[in-house]
Amino acid sequence: MAAAAARVVALACVLSLVLSAQAEAPYRFFDWEVTYGDINPLGGVPQQGILINGQFPGPEVDCQTNDNLVINVRNRLPEPFLLSWNGIQQRKNSWQDGVSGTNCPIPPGQNYTYHMQAKDQIGSFFYFPSLAFHKAAGGFGAIRINSRPRIPVPFPPPADEFTVLIGDWYNTTHKALQAMLDDGKLLPSPDAILINGKGPGRANFTVEQGKTYRLRISNVGLRSTLNFMIQDHNVTLVEVEGTHTVQNTYTSLDVHAGQSLSVLFTADRPARSYHIAVSSRFTNQTLNSTAVLRYAGSTGPVSGPLRAGNQSDVDFSLNQARSIRTNLTASGPRPNPQGSYHYGSINVSRTIRLANSAGQVGGKPRYGVNGVSYVDADTPLKLADYYNISGVFRMDGIPDAPAATHSGTQNGTGADAALKNQTAVMDSDHRSFVEVVFENSEDSVQSWHLDGYSVFVVGMDKGAWSEESRKGYNLVDAVTRCTVEGVSKRVDGDLHRAGQRGDVEREVGGLGAQVPGPAVLPPGVHADALRPRRAPRADQRDPLRPRYQQEPPAILSVVSSRWQGKIQLYQSIVWCASRTVEDLVWLVTG
C-alpha cells in the first residue's frame, strides 16, 4: 500500500506540473506532403523512395517538453499511408499513434492532422510509416524533444547537435520485400547501411576542434542491429529514449532496430577527417558503412584503419546493454530526480511470458507469439471495441505463457509446432503492474517495441528464464525504454531472454516485434478493461475532437500485434464517425 500511496502522490505532482505548464505550452504546426520520388542513396540506379515535402529522410520534428504538435499529413501516394511516432507517449491519446491494421489509414489523395503533445517527455526518437512496408522506402525522420529552459540537463550544452539516422537498406522496392514476406519467405540480407539517407562514405559532419557535440542516433532500419563508432574517438552515452543515463564512455555502441540514444563526443584529436563507422551485427553478412567526420579547416581525405568490431560477440552486446543505467540524481523532463519513482518496490500482479516461434499457417511459414500468429483485422480493434462490434478480435486468445512446444525450452526451438492464426488480444487490469518476459529462440535478433509507452528493462540474459532470474533484476536504476532487444540464439547456441517490469497504469499502446518476419508478429495485449476515462478538460478539447468532447470513449490501452501495432480509437472516429462499418472495412482493406 505504501508504494501505491506514494504513486498517487507522484502522479498528483505530475498532474499539477503539467496543468500549470499546459496553459503556456506552445503549438507547433507542420504541413507535410507525402509523395513518391526518385532517390539514389547508393549512387547507382535511382530507386523509388517515399519523400516528405520532397525530402528523404523526412523533416525533423524539433520541439520541447509539453509542446503541442499539429502535423497535417497529406497523402499523395496512390495507396493508403500512415505515420507512427516511435517513442512518443501518447498519453490518453493513443488514437494518434498511427499504426497498421488498428485504425484507418489516410486514404490516397486525402489528409489527416495528427494532434499530439510531447507531454512530460524529453529525448531522441523518430517517426516512420507503419503500413505496407513503406518504411523500406523512406518516410522516416527524427523527433527531438528538448528540455525546457529551466530544467537542468546533466551535462554542459554541446556546441551543436547532429541527428544520425542509421538503418539497413534494400535496393529492392518495398513492394517486392512485402511480397516476399507475404509468401512466407525470409528477407534477404540488406544491400547497404544508410546514414542520414546516404550510402557508404556519402554523409559528412563538420566539427570544430576542442568542442563537444551531441549525436542523436536512431536505428530507423528494418531489422539489423547496428554498431556505431567514431574512429579514434570515444563516445559518452547521455540519453536513451528519454532517460538521462549514467555517463559511461564507450568505444562503440550497439543500436538495435527501433532504438534511439544520444552520445557526446569531443573533437579533441589532431585536426583531420575521421570515419564514423556503422556496421551490422549478428548477421550472416556483415555490412559496413561510413560517414566522414571533418574537423573544420582541415584538409586531406579520411584515412587510417577502422577498428574491427567483433560482429558476433553476444557477451559484449549483453554487457553493454546491462551497463546502460539511469542517472538517478539527474533531472528528466521535470526538475525532480529521475530516481524518485521507485519501480523496484512495485508488487507485480501478473507475469506474461511472450515467446516467438516459427510455424505454418495455411501451408505458409509464419511467426507466432505463444503459439498465435496474429491476423490483421479488417476493422480497427479500438473501433470495434468502441462500437461493440463482436467477432472482430478474440480476447484471451493468447496464454500468459507459451506452451512448452513454443517456448524454446524443449529440445529444438519449437519451430515446427503448430500455430493458430487469430486476431488475438490479451486483456489486463487497469492500473495493474505486469512483468513481461520476452523469450527469443529464433535465429535472429528480435526487437520488441511498446507503442506509446515505455517500460523498465530490468534484466537481460542468456539461458532460460525462471523465477530465480528475478534475483538478477536491476530494481534500482534500470532505464525505461520503448524498444528492447533480444539477441538471437544462433550466435551462441543459447536462448536469450529479456525480463521487463513495466507499469501499465497509463494507457498502453501496441506491443509488437520491431523486426519484420513472414507475416505476423505478435499478439494483442488489451490492457484496460473497457473503463471509460474522465472527460477531457476544456483545454484538451478542440474542434477535431467533437465526439470525444461529448462522450469520452473507453480508451483501451491495447496492444495489437504486427510490429508497432497499436490501437487508436479516436483517430478512427475522426475518420470514420460518419461512415458505416462497411465503409470502414473498405477504408482499412482498401
Ligand X SMILES: *[C@@H]1O[C@H](CO)[C@@H](O)[C@H](O)[C@H]1NC(C)=O
By CB under 6 A, name the binding residues for ligand X. 1-4, 42, 44-45, 72, 111-113, 154, 171, 186, 189, 191, 204, 232-234, 246-247, 249, 251, 279, 284, 286, 288, 306, 308, 310, 312-313, 315, 327, 329-330, 345, 347, 361-362, 375, 388, 390, 410-411, 421-422
User: From the CB of 104, what's the least distance to ligand X, in Å?
Assistant: 11
Q: Which is nearer to ligand X, 60 or 191 (CB)?
A: 191
Chain residue at closest Cβ approach to ligand X = 362
C-alpha cell read off for 548: 470525444
Q: Which is nearer to ligand X, 275 or 481 (CB)?
A: 275
Q: Which is nearer to ligand X, 96 or 450 (CB)?
A: 96
Q: Which among 431, 433, 279, 438 has a CA at the least distance from the CA of 370?
A: 438
Task: Give how far Cα 8 sits from Cα of 4, 343, 575, Å.
Answer: 6, 13, 36
- Determine the Cα–Cα distance for residues 189 and 287; give it in Å rounded to an integer: 9
Q: Which among 204, 67, 36, 37 has a CA at the least distance from the CA of 143?
A: 67
Task: Give how far Cα 233 sits from Cα of 9, 230, 300, Å.
Answer: 44, 5, 19
Query: What letter does residue 304 receive in the DSSP assignment?
Result: S
Residues near 287 by beta carbon (within 8 Å), at least 6 away in sequence: 168, 189, 190, 192, 193, 224, 279, 280
C-alpha cell read off for 194: 544508410
Cell numbers 488498428 correspond to 102
Q: Which is nearer to ligand X, 32 or 128 (CB)?
A: 32
Helix (H) or strand (E) holding 422: strand 420-422
User: From the CB of 248, what's the least distance to ligand X, in Å?
Assistant: 8
User: From the CB of 511, what's the least distance to ligand X, in Å?
Assistant: 20
Q: Which is nearer to ligand X, 435 or 450 (CB)?
A: 435
Task: Give how far Cα 155 sits from Cα of 3, 245, 365, Å.
Answer: 31, 11, 49
Q: Which is nearer to ligand X, 23 or 45 (CB)?
A: 45
Residue 507 near residue 556, CB atoms below 8 Å: yes
Report the alpha-carbon angle 404-406-410, nearest 5.
Answer: 50
User: From the CB of 278, what's the least distance to ligand X, in Å?
Assistant: 10
User: From the CB of 38, what's the least distance to ligand X, in Å?
Assistant: 12
Q: Enumerate the β-bridge partners of residue 420.
A: 372
- Determine the Cα–Cα distance for residues 419 and 398; give it in Å rounded to an integer: 11
> If you write DSSP's letter for every residue of 488-536 in order, what string do you get?
-STTTTS-EEEEEEEE--S----EEESS--SS----EEE-S-SPPPPPP
**3-class state of residue 543 by DSSP:** coil
C-alpha cell read off for 328: 538517478
Residue 103 near residue 382, CB atoms below 8 Å: yes
Q: Which is nearer to ligand X, 152 or 590 (CB)?
A: 152
Cβ neighbours around 43 below 10 Å, total: 11
User: From the CB of 273, what's the least distance to ligand X, in Å?
Assistant: 9
Q: Enumerate the β-bridge partners of residue 193.
A: 168
Q: Which is nearer to ligand X, 361 or 558 (CB)?
A: 361
User: From the CB of 392, what's the least distance to ligand X, in Å?
Assistant: 11
User: From the CB of 306, what's the least distance to ligand X, in Å?
Assistant: 5
User: From the CB of 19, what's the least distance to ligand X, in Å?
Assistant: 26
User: From the CB of 277, what's the least distance to ligand X, in Å?
Assistant: 8
Q: Which is nearer to ligand X, 20 or 363 (CB)?
A: 363
User: From the CB of 177, what's the least distance to ligand X, in Å?
Assistant: 13
Q: Which is nearer to ligand X, 62 or 492 (CB)?
A: 492
Q: Which among 377, 379, 233, 235 has a CA at the least distance from the CA of 304?
A: 233
Q: Which is nearer to ligand X, 295 or 450 (CB)?
A: 295
Cell numbers 480497427 correspond to 380
Q: Which is nearer to ligand X, 91 or 462 (CB)?
A: 462
SS3 content of the chain, % helix, strand, coil (to 5): 15, 35, 50
User: From the CB of 29, what's the least distance to ligand X, in Å?
Assistant: 11
Residue 221 near residue 137, CB atoms below 8 Å: no
